[in-house]
Structure 1
Amino acid sequence: MTGRNLSHATRDKAGSRPAFNGRTAPVLVVGGSGFIGSNLADSYLADGENVIVLDNLSRAGAEENLDWLKTRHGARVHPVIADIRDAAAIEPAFADARAVFHFAAQTAVTTSLSHPLEDFEVNALGTLNVLEAARKAGRNASVIFASTNKVYGALGDLGVAKAGDQYQPTDEAIRIHGVGEDRPLDFCTPYGCSKGAADQYVLDYATSFGLPTAVLRMSCIYGPRQFGTEDQGWVAHFLRRAISGRSITLYGDGRQVRDVLHVRDAVGAYRAVLDEIGMLAGRAFNLGGGPENAVSLRSLLNEIETLLHHPVACEHRAWRPGDQLYYVSDTRALCKAIGWRPRIGWRPGLSDLCDWIRASRPNPAEMQHRRGVA
């Protein structure tokens, strides 16, 4: 949702209010042209619902995702082109919404370090604008916020040891279950601070104003409609680079471990939290693939080589600030609360993403590899 001049971002439909003519109250997806947002919007649209897609279309792939939604679902997609930093521009989109999913964000640690003020304005102030718009609309609409595991900090006190191509925690309970919500919050980097502040504001609006809110602290989500970059969406970024025959940069030694979650499973979790918001308001949950979908960067690269049937060139650079050696979500609280669990394993999920990238953007270099041409 960032990177575009604000006046340009809000020009098209900002300030307008979608007309629903007595139809079922719509779902509002803030950042609905992004990766997870477009997948969630598609799931509700496929059920016959109306969806307001609020986005400033600044992120790579956002316009393509919005066109995809409109092509599939026509008039039930209600785009509002606006920036969450502009409170007046976004307020009309909330007037009829029965529920709000908030995905719009500045998503890169590196960008936050070079542009901390912009990072704050989007992630912290922008989220406060979303909450106020929902509150002022007077519909008591639920607000489900996409937070991040970065609210737990760099986890520098977490003892880890090398185990082949990955780091593993020395604490047996964390090794078995992952990092739980009882982990103290420890914001580091401007990105961690801005998302952490937003995380806490969302929870407080349930306490201070009675707004039914919930927070999902996400690990690494991947899947179709993801236009990943080096700074965010690393699974898709690795695949795209490898498919096009370009080298991949690993920061650090590549033994960092993350739990990855397919976007279809993530969408299922968001929808289930909304369905149970009466019991879950004011709570934060970890959302990720859990220990069964934990994978190191090195191991994922090995699997990509298996999928593509050719080596992937890599280069190493220095560690980046705030990089966690090991983060795997303990999702037991979420599983218990909504009866959810990941259903797509990381290997078949990676293959699914690979198929989508190949189908959506055929690449001459990949075609040569498929034919066995050096």
Structure 2
Amino acid sequence: MALNILLTGGAGFIGRWVAKRLLKDGHSVWILDDLSNGRESNIEEFYNEPNLKSFIRGSIMDESLLTDVFETNRFDICYHLGASINVQDSIDDPRTTFNNDTVGTFYILEQCRRHDVKVVFMSTCMVYDRCTEEAGITEEHPTKPASPYAGAKISAENMVLSYNYAYGLPTVVIRPFNTYGPFQKTGGEGGVVAIFINNKLAGKELSIYGDGMQTRDLLYVEDCARFVVEAGYSDKVDGQIVNAGLGRDIAIKELALLIVQNEELIRHVEHIHPQSEIQKLLCNSDKAYRLLGWKPEITLEEGLLRTEKWIKDSGWT
């Protein structure tokens, strides 16, 4: 059944892949993005798609705009990906992150409550405390708001779940682990994979914070988008928190070596905000498989090859 879908943050890195998947599945999609993180060029290839109903350049902080969008259109699902996503920025300027990630989410929730629209809320693995179990981090793992970004996301998560409990609104909190792939920014705001590959292609050194032994569970973006979309389709995850990751972690030092293949091109630098560092992140996605039948399909090695080829071919920065 074709659905009407509002996608906030749809011009962002993960958002554009979610948009692509939704359009491929035959749904009508409205994208709302203020382009503070996203780029309109990310979604230009969809402009000739008849099911892309509108690109609305605007902010989730604009309540009158949201009111107009929700009253003018009838949505079945709101995939809420719009957010401030940079950990370091959140430490330097917590107000902006809190407003966008917590207050903005509240504004979305209020519209979805009034119009009975399911909410899929994009959270983050950065809400978790470090991994201490060999089986990886499950949804019951302790949280630790080590940055205002994580704190704002946990606050928003609780509001999202409260709307399920208090109003019976279908809502789900999803926590993808560190996502990478084509269309991720390669500059300071980008992810570690994109930055490392871009530096390699530019003949620059790869800088690692601290000793580089901190680990990340790296999820290829198309696997992530498939997870995001499936969480909207299924009522089995309503009222739930669900993780998604590769189920394999790698030390940042090892990742750099895997990408550049030369230890001499790797240098260690002092961490800007060491207090926000999570030493070990390893995802347990059993719940996603149990409830959604989702599991990752792209290995880290394959994902790195695809990402490098894309950055090289596109001249992306």
- TM-score, with length taken from structure 1: 0.79
What's the CA shift for 1:96? 1.5
Distance 1:68 1:340 in 2: 27
Partner of residue 128, structure 2: 152
2:45 partner amino acid: W
What's the CA shift for 1:312? 3.4
Match of 1:180 among 138, 163, 182: 138
CA contact (8 A) 1:70 1:77 kept: no
Match of 2:27 among 49, 62, 68: 49
Partner of residue 88, structure 1: 64
CA contact (8 A) 2:79 2:232 kept: no
Distance 1:232 1:191 in 2: 16
Within a 5 Å distance, the mapping from 1:163-242 to structure 2 comes to 169=132, 174-175=133-134, 177-242=135-200
Distance 1:313 1:68 in 2: 36
Partner of residue 11, structure 2: 33
Partner of residue 86, structure 2: 108
2:270 partner amino acid: R
Question: Are 1:314 and 2:267 an aligned pair?
Answer: yes
What's the CA shift for 1:86? 1.2
Question: Are 1:247 and 2:195 an aligned pair?
Answer: no
2:153 partner amino acid: K
Matched pairs, number: 314
Q: 1:320 to 1:183 in 2, by over 3 A?
A: same
Query: Any unmatched runs of 5+ in structure 1?
Result: 1-22, 159-168, 364-374
Larger radius of gyration: 1
Match of 1:283 among 234, 237, 240: 240
CA contact (8 A) 2:206 2:256 kept: no
1:129 partner amino acid: Y
Per-residue CA shift, 1:218-251, capped at 9, x if unaligned? 2101111211443542211221122112233211
State the secondary structure of the residue aligned to 1:181.
coil
Within a 5 Å distance, the mapping from 1:6-85 to structure 2 comes to 25-59=3-37, 62-70=39-47, 73=49, 76-85=52-61
Distance 1:300 1:74 in 2: 41
Distance 2:298 2:2 in 1: 32
Q: 1:33 to 1:27 in 2, by over 3 A?
A: same
After the TM superposition, which segments of 4 or more aligned residues of structure 1 sit over 4 Å from their partners?
none
Distance 2:270 2:15 in 1: 32
Question: Are 1:304 and 2:263 an aligned pair?
Answer: no
Distance 1:286 1:46 in 2: 24
Distance 1:66 1:227 in 2: 15
Distance 2:263 2:152 in 1: 40
Q: 1:77 to 1:295 in 2, by over 3 A?
A: farther
What's the CA shift for 1:310? 9.9
State the secondary structure of the residue aligned to 1:290.
coil
State the secondary structure of the residue aligned to 2:154.
helix
Deviates more, 1:37-46 or 1:309-318: 309-318
Distance 1:362 1:342 in 2: 25
CA contact (8 A) 1:56 1:83 kept: yes
State the secondary structure of the residue aligned to 1:253.
coil
Query: Any unmatched runs of 5+ in structure 2?
Result: none
Q: 1:295 to 1:210 in 2, by over 3 A?
A: same
Q: 1:207 to 1:362 in 2, by over 3 A?
A: closer
Per-residue CA shift, 1:55-83, capped at 9, x if unaligned? 00122x51211323325x25634101111
Distance 1:186 1:75 in 2: 40
What's the CA shift for 1:185? 2.6
Partner of residue 107, structure 2: 129
2:55 partner amino acid: P
Alpha-carbon RMSD: 2.2
Distance 2:312 2:138 in 1: 36
Distance 2:265 2:285 in 1: 32
Q: 1:75 to 1:148 in 2, by over 3 A?
A: closer
